[in-house]
Structure formats: C-alpha cells, structure tokens
C-alpha cells in the first residue's frame, strides 16, 4: 500500500487503539490528551514517512512513537504527578514505558472497556453513539453529522458536553457489572451498526464501498463475542448481518469503481465462506428468547445471498420487513419493504404503498418509484428518476440514476 493510502488506513484502524490504551492509563478525564497524543503520532508519521519512506513495520513505528509521547507527557506534566509520583521515584524510563501497554490483549481490553465507559447512562444516547463513532471508530465530524442527519455544529456541541460529563462524573474505564451490560449494550451495537453502514454505503465521502470501515466494525463486534459476558444473541445477529452484507463486496462495484445493483451482480464473485460464517452466527443468535432488529435484518440479508428470484424468497423478505417495522419503524425499512412487496405481489400494489410514504427529500424514494413505474408509465418513471438525480448527494448515485434514465 502506497503512503497516501496507508496513513488514512492506519488512522482508521490504529487511532482508536492508541487513544483507548493511553486514555485507560491516564483516566477518562484526560480523554482529549489521549486523542491529541494519538493525533500527534499520525502527524509525525506523515512528516517523517514523506521524506524517509515507510518503515518496515508501520504499526510498530506508530506504537513506539505513541509510547514515547506518553512517557514524555508523564515525565513533564504536573497533571499526572499525583497519580504516578510513587512510580517516578527511583524508576527508570524503561519501566515507565511498560506502563503504556500496546500489546494485542491490552488493546482489546482497553477498547472494550472504553466502549462501555463511553456508553454510560449519565450521557444522552445520541452523545454515547457520537462519542463511540468519534473515539473508537475514527469517524470524522462530517460522517457523524451524516449518520444523525444533523449539522457539524450540533455534533461538536454534543461531543463537547459528553466529554465534560465523563470528566465531571469521573466515569471509570472498566467493564460494567453483569446487570449493567444489557443497559449499555444496545448503544454499543448501534454505534457498530452505524460504522458498518457508513462503510457499506457512504454519503459523507463519494465512495461506493469503504471496506476498512466495514472490517473495523466487524473487528469490534468480534471483540464483543470474545468476551463471555457480551457473547449474546443480539451481538451474534449483528455479526451475521455484517457477514452476509460483506460477502457481496467484490460484486458490488465494477472495475471503474461504479456501483453494481443487486440484480446485476455476478454471484460467482460472492464470498461463500463469509455466507457460511453468517449462517453460523445467525444460528448462535437463535439461542435465548430475545429478538432484536439485528436478527430480522440478518435474516433479510440471508435471503439476499440466494440469487434466485422466487416468490417464496420475496414473500419471506416481505414478512420479515413487516416484523421489522413493528419492532422498530424506520422510513428506509418501509421503503425497502415496498420493493419486496413489488416482487411478491406486483408493482401496482407496491406503487400505491410507496406513494403513501411521501419521502420527498430522499433520492432512494424516487429511484424506487422510477423502478416501479418502468413497465407501467415510462413518462412517470423518467420524472421520478430525474428527481432522484437532482436529490442524489454523491457522484456514484448520480451515475447509477443516469444509467436508469438512459435505459428507459
């Protein structure tokens, strides 16, 4: 990987690890100090690697620099004097270095504990998710604003207040008690779900697929499964959903980087090993009495790993969408249900249901109407596609819609 692509990739995968470990070492009241150290590490990497070239082991280089920055901070900053005064007496710099433990186990433990610390009930849920996306998922402010359908200013204020709350409440970076886990787990899973979705379809960056985000979401979900107390049905269901969706990555874009719609995908490019893993985790999710939205969405995603366009398939997907909307209504789920309805019961019925939704600020709504009207009224199909083109935010979507208009 070339240097221009490598640093953003490493920032996405390593920034949160470095931040979590340093923050655990210093305490959550020094979260911004930990973030600054991690940021400074990457700034130095950009400056150094540009002139001296990429080191043999870039990740190890980053960890060493981060350790040294933390050591220097400990040595010179009186803020930490009380916490480590006893350690600094007659202690060599070498033993101070071991305090910043960037081993794989400590990184995993720190990130898991950090996830639950950030998702503390003292903080509003939107802020919990926002902080998780920012600190542990490496999201930019634009990406968080996009996920919440709000402005950057709102997100900045929300994150500032949340950090202040963490500081004043003196929240500990530790694993919660068994009774506390279910109360916080929903927010943790929501953050990982949003992280995966941003990778699977991004409006904040003009990209068909951002695999690094999806892989990071899966890695963090694997961490939850690796802990006995969080290896729960909803976590397995979320990972199953991720496996099913990621199994079609290779077929979702062409050699020009343009999106390939589901019906046009080459199923020989699908990853059947990932599909099998998804089936395994979905089976694991069936234990117990809980039914989350992730169970239903994973089941819908499973049916999409069967390419055959059968009535049984679409009727099953339609029933699952009916369940999902009863459990947790969302306009996008309602829109997707309408497409399944068109495949199961025909386009005439689907058009009636679709037009009831009135999602007039959503380009997917007009794309769907354009698709439904294709064989019914070409003029209406064209008008809907043209409206979708106007509303589309990314060049990728505009190209896809343009092809639909040209095909009419």
Q: Other CB atoms closer than 10 Å to residue 52's CB: what's the count?
A: 8
Cα–Cα distance for residue pair 183/327, rounded to 1 Å: 18
Contacts for 102 with CB less than 8 Å, ≥ 6 apart = 17, 18, 21, 63, 66, 67
Cross-strand partners of 207? 202
Per-residue pLDDT of the chain (408 residues), as tens digits, is: 555 678 887 887 898 899 999 988 888 888 888 889 999 999 999 999 988 899 999 999 999 999 888 888 877 765 545 555 555 444 444 444 446 788 888 888 888 898 888 888 888 888 888 888 888 777 788 888 877 878 899 999 999 998 888 888 888 888 888 888 888 898 889 988 988 887 887 665 555 567 878 888 899 899 999 988 899 999 999 999 999 999 998 888 887 767 888 888 899 999 999 999 999 999 999 988 889 999 999 999 999 999 888 999 999 999 999 999 999 999 999 999 999 999 999 999 999 999 999 999 999 999 999 999 998 999 999 999 999 999 998 888 898 899 899 988
Cα–Cα distance for residue pair 226/229, rounded to 1 Å: 9
The backbone region for 139, taken as left when phi is positive above 0, alpha when psi lies in -120 to 50, beta otherwise, is beta
The whole-number pLDDT of residue 286 equals 94
Q: Give the closest residue to 174 by CA, choosing from 121, 255, 117.
A: 117
Q: Other CB atoms closer than 10 Å to residue 283's CB: what's the count?
A: 11
The residue count for the chain: 408
Task: Say if CB 132 and CB 188 are below 8 A apart.
Answer: yes
Contacts for 51 with CB less than 8 Å, ≥ 6 apart = none
DSSP H or E segment with residue 76: helix 58-76
Cα–Cα distance for residue pair 245/334, rounded to 1 Å: 19
Cα–Cα distance for residue pair 240/298, rounded to 1 Å: 6
The backbone region for 265, taken as left when phi is positive above 0, alpha when psi lies in -120 to 50, beta otherwise, is beta
The whole-number pLDDT of residue 82 equals 55
């Amino acid at each position: 990987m070339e240097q221009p692509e490598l640093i953003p990739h490493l920032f996405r995968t390593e920034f949160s690890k470095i931040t979590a470990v340093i923050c655990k070492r210093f305490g959550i009241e020094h979260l911004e100090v930990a973030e600054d150290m991690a940021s400074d590490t990457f700034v130095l990497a950009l400056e150094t690697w540009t002139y001296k070239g990429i080191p043999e082991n870039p990740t190890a280089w980053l960890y060493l620099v981060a350790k040294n920055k933390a050591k220097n901070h400990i040595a010179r900053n009186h803020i930490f004097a009380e916490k480590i005064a006893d350690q600094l007496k007659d202690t060599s710099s070498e033993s101070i270095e071991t305090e910043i433990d960037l081993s794989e186990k400590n990184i995993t433990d720190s990130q898991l504990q950090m996830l639950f610390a950030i998702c503390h009930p003292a903080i509003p849920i939107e802020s919990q998710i926002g902080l998780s996306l920012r600190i542990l998922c490496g999201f930019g402010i634009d990406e968080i604003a996009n996920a919440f359908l709000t402005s950057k200013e709102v997100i900045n204020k929300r994150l500032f207040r949340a950090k202040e709350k963490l500081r004043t409440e003196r929240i500990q970076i530790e694993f919660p008690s068994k009774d506390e886990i279910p109360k916080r787990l929903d927010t943790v899973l929501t953050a990982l779900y949003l992280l995966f979705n941003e990778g699977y379809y991004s409006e904040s960056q003009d990209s068909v697929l951002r695999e690094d985000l999806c892989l990071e979401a899966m890695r963090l979900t694997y961490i939850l499964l690796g802990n006995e107390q969080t290896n729960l049905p909803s976590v397995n269901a979320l990972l199953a959903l991720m496996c099913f969706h990621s199994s079609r990555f290779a077929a979702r874009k062409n050699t020009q980087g343009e999106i390939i719609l589901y019906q046009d995908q080459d199923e020989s490019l699908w990853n059947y090993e990932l599909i099998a893993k998804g089936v395994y985790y979905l089976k694991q999710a069936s234990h117990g009495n809980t039914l989350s939205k992730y169970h239903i969405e994973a089941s819908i995603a499973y049916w999409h790993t069967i390419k055959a366009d059968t009535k049984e398939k679409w009727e099953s997907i339609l029933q699952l969408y009916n369940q999902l909307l009863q459990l947790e209504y969302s306009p996008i789920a309602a829109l997707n249900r309408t497409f399944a309805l068109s495949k199961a019961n025909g386009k005439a019925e689907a058009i009636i249901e679709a037009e009831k939704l009135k999602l007039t600020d959503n380009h997917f709504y007009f794309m769907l109407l354009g698709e439904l009207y294709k064989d019914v009224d070409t003029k209406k199909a064209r008008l809907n596609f043209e409206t979708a083109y106007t509303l589309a935010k990314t060049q990728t979507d505009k190209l896809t819609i343009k092809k639909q208009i040209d095909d009419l």
